[in-house]
Amino acid sequence: MEEEEKETTFDYTTGTTESSESGSKSSAKTTAEEIGKTILEYIDKGVEAGKKGLKTAGVAISDFGDKSVKSIELQQLKMKKNKALAQLGKYVWETLKAGGENAALNSSDEKIKYYMEGLAKLQENIEKHEKFFEEAKAKNKASKEEAKD
């Protein structure tokens, strides 16, 4: 008995294979399509994961930027407050030194009133910034707790 030699060829243009033994064509087209679909699905999944990652990174970067700006502003407000306190202290000292025993200071004094109003505004802004950081800290803690669950 002679064994028939089988020769199989693949046509890359049509995606079909041809066997010389039976003369019939078997289609590899469906297999190629399935592989193509699978590859496209993985690419889509990769793109979606990439988008999600970029969105998360963008939010984190934005949050970091906001916190950095607020932190700088808070430090500037504290420096302005310290400067205003020093100016108020200097004014009080100079007034008391110049007036001797008869020197009198009260909140109706124009310069004292000016410094007190400025200090009140600075303190209000400082408290707003500190509240921002407290809320951000609480939000971050809640996010970490949520991620654990």
Q: Which two tokens stand for residue 98?
A: 């110049």
Please indicate, yes or no, whether the overall pTM of this predicted structure exceeds 0.75: no
For 11, phi and psi rounded to 5 degrees?
A: -95, 110
pLDDT of amino acid 22: 45
1 within a domain of the structure (yes/no): no
| Domain containing residue 62 | 8-148
Task: Give tens-digit pLDDT for 107-121.
Answer: 888 999 999 999 999
25 within a domain of the structure (yes/no): yes
CA distance 30 to 26: 10
CA distance 27 to 34: 12
Exposed (0-12), middle (13-18) or buried (19+): which is 77, by Cβ within 10 Å?
buried
Name the packing angle between helices 29-99 and 110-148 (round to 10°): 150
2 within a domain of the structure (yes/no): no
Task: Give tens-digit pLDDT for 56-92.
Answer: 776 677 777 778 888 899 999 999 999 999 999 999 8
Number of domains in the chain: 1
